[in-house]
Structure 1
C-alpha cells in the first residue's frame, strides 16, 4: 500500500514538473523577416557620402536558453543581415579606398553587413504581467562595402569587422488570458566617436500554448544605427529601420 502511494505521489510530481517546465527552463528559437529602409553612407574619412539605397528584405534568426541555475546568466545568440544596394548621383565629393569620387558622378554602392549578438542576461522580473531582462551584448559586426563609379569604372572596396560591447535590456508586458503581449528590446553603446544602437518594439500573440511547445507571432518595428569612426579605416554613419514580422517557438 505504501509503495503504491509512493508511486502515485512520484507520478503526480512528474506531471507537475512537466506542466511547469517552461517556467523553470526553456529554449526559444525565432526568425524575423525585416523590410529595411537604409539611409546614410560611408567613406575612408569622416567626410561620409550620403547614398540612396533600395528597400531590402533582410532577416534575423535567434536562439535563447533560459535556465534556473542561480547566478549564471541566460544566453541569447542573434544574427541579422543588413545587406543593401543602390545607385546615387553624388551631391558632393568623397574618397573611399583611396579613390576620389566627384560631385555629380553616378555611383553604385553595395553593402554586405552581418551583425551577430552574443547576449548574456538576467531575468530581474518574470511573470505573466511584466518581465524585465538586463545584461550585456558582445555585438560582432562583419561588413564589406563597395563603390563603383559607373562612368569612369573607378571602384573602391573595404572590409571591416570588430566586436562592440553594448548594454542590453528587454521589457515585456502581457495581457493575461489573451495571449497578447508587447515588448521593447535593445542594445546601446556610445564610446569615444563610436555610437551604435539596435532596438525593436513589437506586439506578439501566442496562438499555441501547450506542454510541449509554444508558438508566437510578432509584428513590430526595428531600428539599427551604426556610427563608427575609423574602424579598419572605415567611417560610416548609417541607419537601418523598418517593420518586421516574426515567429518564435518556445520548447
Structure 2
C-alpha cells in the first residue's frame, strides 16, 4: 500500500510540473467498509468442495488516480487499487487438497489493479462530464485454508485479468463546490457477470489555488459471478458498502 501511494504521488508531482502536456491530474485515497457475501464451489470428477463466506464486515484501503491530457486521439488514463479480504468456512475436496467432512476456515486476500484507458466524451459541458473506456482489472488473489483437525492446511495464489466496459458520469452543481458522480465497470458473457459500480458526492476546498483538496463519500457495489462449463470452480460473491476518502486536484 505504501509503495502504491508513493508511486502515485511521484507521478502526480511530475505531472504537475509539465502541465503543458496534461490538462488535469486527480488522485484520491480512502477506505471502503463492506460486507462480503457469497460462496464458491469446485467440482471435478468426484471432487465436491464448497466455500461459504462468514459475511463479516471488512474495511479495505483504496487508491485512485486519473490523468487527462489535451491530445484528442489518445485515451486518457485512470488507475485504481483496492485490497479486499474475506473469511469463511470450506469443506469437501478441492483441486489440490482434500478437507474431508470437517469444516475448515478459509481466508483470502484479493488485490485488484484497474488500468482504465478512456475517452472524455463531455468535459464539464453544461456542468456534465461523461467518460467511456475499457477497464483491465487485474486480480491478484491468494487464499489459505487453516484446518480444525486432521487436514494439513493449504496456501496458494492466482493472478488473472478481467476486461470490462467502463463508463463514468459527473455533474458539477452550479454555484457550489459539490459534485455528483457515478461510474460502472461491467461485463457479462454466458452465465458469468462481473461488475463494479460506485456513486458518490464530493466537496472541493478551493482555498488553495494550485492544488485543490476535496472530500468524497459514496457507496460501492462489486459482484463477481463466474459460472462457465469450461471452468471447474464456480464463484458467486459480492462486496457492498460505503466508502470515504480524500482527493487532490492539480
| TM-score, structure 1 as length reference | 0.80
Within 5 Å, give how 1:84-123 maps onto structure 2.
Answer: 84-86=86-88, 88=89, 94-101=92-99, 105-123=102-120
| Structure 2: gaps (5+ residues) | 1-18
Cα distance in 2, alignment partners of residues 164 and 209 from structure 1 = 40
- Look up the match of 1:148: 146
Aligned length: 225
Root-mean-square deviation (Å): 2.5
Matched, 1:62 2:60: no
- Which residue of 166, 170, 173 maps to 1:172? 170
Cα distance in 2, alignment partners of residues 168 and 209 from structure 1 = 33
Q: Is the 8 A contact 1:97 1:156 kept in 2?
A: no
Secondary structure of the equivalent of 1:182?
Answer: strand
69-78 vs 205-214, greater mean Cα deviation: 205-214
- Look up the match of 1:238: 237
Q: Is the 8 A contact 2:49 2:94 kept in 1?
A: no
Deviation at 1:233, TM superposition (A): 5.7
- Look up the match of 1:5: none
Deviation at 1:222, TM superposition (A): 0.6
- Look up the match of 2:3: none
Matched, 1:126 2:123: yes
Matched, 1:182 2:180: yes
Cα distance in 2, alignment partners of residues 249 and 37 from structure 1 = 28
Deviation at 1:29, TM superposition (A): 1.1
Cα distance in 2, alignment partners of residues 81 and 229 from structure 1 = 23
Deviations 1:49-100 (A, max 9, x none): 32214211101111111011111110011111112224x4x7xx54323444
| TM-score, structure 2 as length reference | 0.80
Matched, 1:201 2:203: no
Deviation at 1:43, TM superposition (A): 3.4
Q: Is the 8 A contact 1:74 1:120 kept in 2?
A: yes
Deviation at 1:178, TM superposition (A): 1.3
- Look up the match of 1:8: none
Deviation at 1:175, TM superposition (A): 1.0
Matched, 1:83 2:71: no
Distance 1:85 1:49, change over 3 A: closer
Q: Is the 8 A contact 2:85 2:109 kept in 1?
A: yes
- Look up the match of 2:16: none
Cα distance in 1, alignment partners of residues 201 and 95 from structure 2 = 43
Distance 1:83 1:43, change over 3 A: same
Deviation at 1:112, TM superposition (A): 1.0
158-167 vs 109-118, greater mean Cα deviation: 158-167
Larger Rg: 1
- Look up the match of 2:8: none
Secondary structure of the equivalent of 1:164?
Answer: strand
Cα distance in 1, alignment partners of residues 179 and 128 from structure 2 = 9
